[in-house]
A and B are shown apart, each in its own frame.
Chain A
Amino acid sequence: MMQLQDIHHGYRQGGIFSRSRRHPVLQGARLTIGTGECVALLGRTGSGKSTLGRLVLGLERPDAGRILFDGAPLTDFRGRMAPATRRAIQAVFQDPQAATSPRFTGYEVVAEPLTVQGEASRDRVAELLAEVDLPPELLDRPAHRMSGGQLQRLCIARALATRPRLVVLDEAVNSLDLETQARVMALLRRLRAQHGMAFLFVTHDLRLLRGFADRSYVMQDRRPVEVADPFGPGPLPPVLQALRDAILPEMPRPRLPAGRAVG
């Protein structure tokens, strides 16, 4: 459904007047997402995984390389997406507070993508809220009076509003507390089972992949490298090995009794 072919992309470094060259973020990146597939993209901070997500969303155009959606270029020569494609690809980002206007009510947040098409109705929005386990009372509550978990579910409802075929989840559960995180992950799993949409699940937290992703890539040297089993025995790309080694202990280790002099 989605294919990234030999993508090169970079950003300018320094101020507007500095003459430094573009800083390469992606070099020869390839990635495919099949229909209904959940593809994980792992990586360290600054490894280019969010940039790749932005390219998939058509928010940026690559410096070089091709992005195909259903076999056709994602954007036209002016960088614009066909309306149907725009509706088919949605996103949920890490910080729900930053992704919603605090003055909007729950209804306004979710209805926004629908008003463009003149399809917004309270019934449809209430239906979407129900899908993400939010009570109808939130329709009229301003966003700034919702918890982080409620807001993130609201963002998921907004992403679902156009019945997308691909949702980019960019660290979408990382700012949530543990229990909320577990509930949102369960919700995502259920929504995918119901609607059969594809996910591009971008994260640095390896632990979230288990039982969630069909295929996994890890960002290594500015390109995604596919890994058959991120939890299996090696050999693994060095970045993945480092991420695995950095997983914190599940249980406290027995500690030496403190006998240190302080003060």
Chain B
Amino acid sequence: MSPRALSLLALHLHDGEHALVRDVSLTIRRGKVLGLVGTSGGGKSLTTLAILDLLPPGVKRVAGLVALDSQPVEPATLRGRIVGLVQQAPRGGFNPLVSIGRHFLETLACDGLRGAPAWEKMQGLLAEVGFERPAEIASLYPSQLSGGMLQRVMLALALARDPLFLLADEPTTDLDLVVQARLLDLLEALVQRRGIGLLLVTHDLSVIARLADTVAVMDQGRIVELQSAHNLFEDPAHPRAQALVAAHRALYA
């Protein structure tokens, strides 16, 4: 049976001088959206990267476990097949010298998919993220696509190996409102259609309001609040969560 939950247990990260993330535990469930919010520099991205053991040089995991249905697993083995990753600022995630199609073929080859079947799968993925003429996109280079298009391509790549979970780190931060709304519709459809478990990392509470079932609020490397999205907006408990909700509400005043 395929796993139903991906958990991070008691994660501690350290850079040699300071504790960056302290005792963070999270559980992402299939078919659900867990939001992770907080000010920048609070440890959201590091926590996300730690799930796949993709920490930047100098940052050490001093404690913590990643588990699938409470079975501890080696984080690096989750990449691609079990857990897909979508990051902010999509341009940096692509090789500028390689066409979009080649990016897909390389990823699909991990599962032994080559030639016509790989080409077909790529077209399906690009269509799934909303491209009407996938074949045209495949022949283009990253510099020929807009930020919003690249963000969708990155999502299609993350889905290429049919992951059960998706980690999306600020997936809409650089996009304009219209593209953002479309991408969030798409993520919602993926959660519903594929039963993907989604970790949605953002500093924008309106993204949370749109999509999240449960929300974790992070501040200075700790989770200070964990509750349903509805309750967070109605009745934030921690002062940091209250400040965040207040800043968000002011945008709509």
Contacts and interface: CB of A to CB of B under 8 A. Distances in A.
A263 B195 contact: yes
Given A243-B177, A248-B181, A262 B30 contact: yes
Interface residues of A, number: 40
A248 B146 contact: no
Interface in B144-192: 146-148, 173-181, 184, 192
Given A177-B39, A254-B230, A206 B213 contact: no
Given A147-B40, A149-B40, A248 B230 contact: no
6 contacts: A45-B179, A148-B40, A178-B247, A248-B180, A248-B207, A250-B248
Given A252-B210, A253-B209, A262-B195, 5 more contacts: A46-B146, A204-B176, A210-B253, A248-B177, A260-B31
B244 to A, nearest CB: 6
Given A178-B244, A182-B250, A263-B1, A248 B184 contact: yes
Q: Interface size for chain B: under 10, 10 to 19, 20 to 34, or 35 or more residues? A: 35 or more
Contacts of B39: 177-180
A246 interface: yes
A252 B248 contact: no
B176 A249 contact: no
Given A45-B148, A178-B203, A204-B176, A252 B230 contact: yes
A177 B204 CA distance: 7
B4 A262 contact: yes
Contacts of A147: 40-41
A258 B198 CA distance: 14
A247 interface: yes
Nearest to A183: B247
A262 B195 CA distance: 5
A152 B161 CA distance: 39
**Interface class of chain A by DSSP:** loop
Interface in A137-186: 147-149, 174-182
B251 A207 contact: yes
Interface string A194-211: 000000000011111010
B219 to A, nearest CB: 11
Interface in B213-243: 213, 229-230, 233, 243
A250 B173 CA distance: 17
A14 to B, nearest CB: 9
A193 interface: no
B251 A249 contact: no
A249 B41 CA distance: 26
B32 interface: yes
A251 B208 CA distance: 9
Contacts of A250: 206, 209, 248-249, 252
A180 B31 contact: no
Given A179-B247, A248-B184, A263-B195, A148 B175 contact: no
Contact of B205 (A178, A243, A258): A178
